[in-house]
Chains A and B, each alone.
Chain A
């Protein structure tokens, strides 16, 4: 597997990249902080990724920079065949509601930037016989709730893009995996009260890798969130309105 990973210096992205490295994958890292990228690259090399693990700067907020970053990845990996996007922004509902600039940036990165990148890569992969795109959405995108509808909306949009992308490019060999994590204990969720069914990044990574290998279009992690969300999606609006979460 020749993997380009966006946002793999932290959280679930880090755990997934570490797992891929331990399986001997060839990995190319994209992210915002060159120093962090370099440290993660050494980590992946020590864990068994094909040496060297190269990196380039990419900011999901700046789509103009995507082609050059993808070219660098293609050059380093002799054409990559897999894209993993775990990068994204998160903030609590009240923080987003109180700060329009922050809200705009979150929506832009999680939806616009990620959608543009996935579309661009789908075209690139289709042009050379196919590949896999695996992007991290969220259960928050499954149903709007008062406690996180702003973040949820960015992920609902992304889920829709990934769903359509998978349909549109299936004939040209591009498989699209939409990962919908429930609460996972990472730096992103640090400080939030931990709800029931919370997952660890390492177990999420194994589940996601299995879904990528099997080409499943949607994967909930931890798996129980599939059923939790089934219930939440089925709740009538007047019930949901009364719930605090």
Chain B
């Protein structure tokens, strides 16, 4: 049955393009179909999982969700690539196992975590998701089922981790879960008055806390620039959680697209003020569930609709330690000057980067923002921010990008982009795997 044509967008709902979607329990590469594009649960914000053209076949993997093997002594899990982190948590957290690395939503597939080489609040200590992967099985463009890992087909492995699904269709992943004593997190929150204090707070906390992250009030200017809240967390011990009832979670769904005026500067200013005051008032560490700590937004299904029909852009970059805090300050100043408030301005320190060619993190400070889409103006702002990032020797995160110019991305990723392209040339010389993002950034034809 030839799939019907659908409109397909990223989580930021911008851009949206037509394509045919195959949702199958059995992940396979239909013979002589091109272009193809693997897609998980569609949480990449930009155009990474958006088809290159209307003729594209998007292979949605989330139906392939079986656990193939689990070793309860080592925590080694082998699963089909469409298994979601939400399911892993539901099945394994009650048994004392958690994800080695998790992004800010659990509604992503394991294959997606590999393809974006996701990072989390423990990057300063544990690195990216790809660092825990022992084996991948993927269908490559020539119709072969290939095993790849740190010790076998290493180049293909390094090109696939963080490779945005452009090296093949990942069908199976083997990686290690983390042993935890309880499903709870001890959370410590402190108010921070300036950017310097935030950066210093993150650095200091990295020694004793496995999870750290900062939230920044983007509307604060001058000496208050970088004002925010620093959150630190660690897995709670059994003793600390004795007698706690299993966490229960209520989720709400945003029923329709919100009007565009909803997230206006006044509303955001109020929200930021409230958020800051509320967290600043808490003095003592407290125990919260993993869901509350890692996935606060997952409690609001379809929250991307809050940005209205025009959608939004996410922007995440990293500034290397060698460049100091000045570029981070400059990015925040540009945002504040334009009144481009963001609900979720998140700051975090990264540890060393990985060997995977297109993996995003590198030792430095990362900044992540939501920008309501207001046409050319918003795109220009991204280019301005990119200029600061390039100057500082930093990079941007492909899982969030929708508008970066190819030449800008190339200068951020030198020489890794060339290495990645060389591996891609070997495995997919005819560019069977293509996305709207690869058309935009890597010169693939639509």
Contacts and interface: CB of A to CB of B under 8 A. Distances in A.
Interface string B174-198: 0000000000000000000000000
B63 A186 contact: yes
A22 B90 contact: yes
Given A22-B90, A40-B66, A14 B4 contact: no
Interface string B12-25: 00000000001111
A190 B1 contact: yes
A190 B91 contact: no
Contact of B2 (A11, A42, A185, A191): A191
Contact of A39 (B24, B68, B91): B68
Contacts, number: 49
Contacts of A14: 25, 66
Q: In this complex, which of A14, A48, A190 has the most chain B Cβ atoms within 10 angstroms of its Cβ?
A: A190
A52 to B, nearest CB: 14
A116 B23 CA distance: 32
Nearest to A40: B66
A163 interface: no
Interface residues of B, number: 18
A241 interface: no
A193 B3 CA distance: 8
Interface string B223-241: 0000000000000000000
Interface in B1-41: 1-4, 6, 22-26
Q: Size range of the interface on A? A: 20 to 34
A47 B67 contact: yes
A46 B67 contact: yes
Of A39, A185, A186, A191, most buried by chain B (CB within 10 Å of CB) is A191
B25 A191 contact: no
A110 to B, nearest CB: 18
Interface string A173-201: 00000000000011100111110000000
A43 interface: yes
A11 B23 CA distance: 11
Nearest to A202: B87
A194 B1 CA distance: 14
B4 A191 contact: yes
B31 to A, nearest CB: 17
B70 A190 contact: no
A10 interface: yes
14 contacts: A9-B25, A39-B66, A42-B66, A42-B67, A43-B66, A46-B67, A46-B69, A46-B70, A92-B1, A185-B23, A187-B23, A187-B25, A191-B2, A191-B4
